[in-house]
Structures are given as C-alpha cells and as structure tokens.
Amino acid sequence: MIDKEIKQIVEKGHQTALAILNANRELLQSMAEKLLETEVIEGETLHHFLSQIKPL
C-alpha cells in the first residue's frame, strides 16, 4: 500500500516536471543558445530569463 502511494507521488511529480518543461520549452531553448554563446548566464541576463518562466 505504501509502495503504491509512493509510486503515485513520484509519478505525479514526474508529470508536473514534464508539464513545466514543456510549457517553457522555448525559454529553455533560448537559454541553451545563450549558454552556447557565453558559457555563463548571470546578472541581468539571468533575471531576464527567470522572469519569463511560465508557471503551471
């Protein structure tokens, strides 16, 4: 019974994580491209990216 409940909690967390990643796919792509250019994202650039995160 506990194993079933734990499995449900983990599965729900996994689905939530996938939904967040999918909702922010374009932002993640932009961040990856910026990292390839500069190797580091910090300061105002980081704040700019973080301000664009779409919550569920």
Q: What is the pLDDT along the chain (56 residues), one digit of tens a residue?
A: 789 999 999 999 999 999 999 999 999 999 999 999 999 999 999 999 999 999 88
Give CA 35 to chain center in angstroms: 15
Run of H or E residues at 38: helix 25-38
Residue 1, pLDDT score: 79
Encode 34-51: b = buried (16+ Cβ within 10 Å), e = exposed.
beeeeeeeeeeeeeebee
Residue 36, pLDDT score: 98
Residue 6, pLDDT score: 95
**Pairwise CA distance, residues 32 & 38, whole Å:** 10
Q: Which residues, including other chains, have CB under 8 Å from residue 24's CB and lie 6 or more apart? A: 53, 54
Residue 52, pLDDT score: 96
Q: pTM to 2 decimals?
A: 0.78
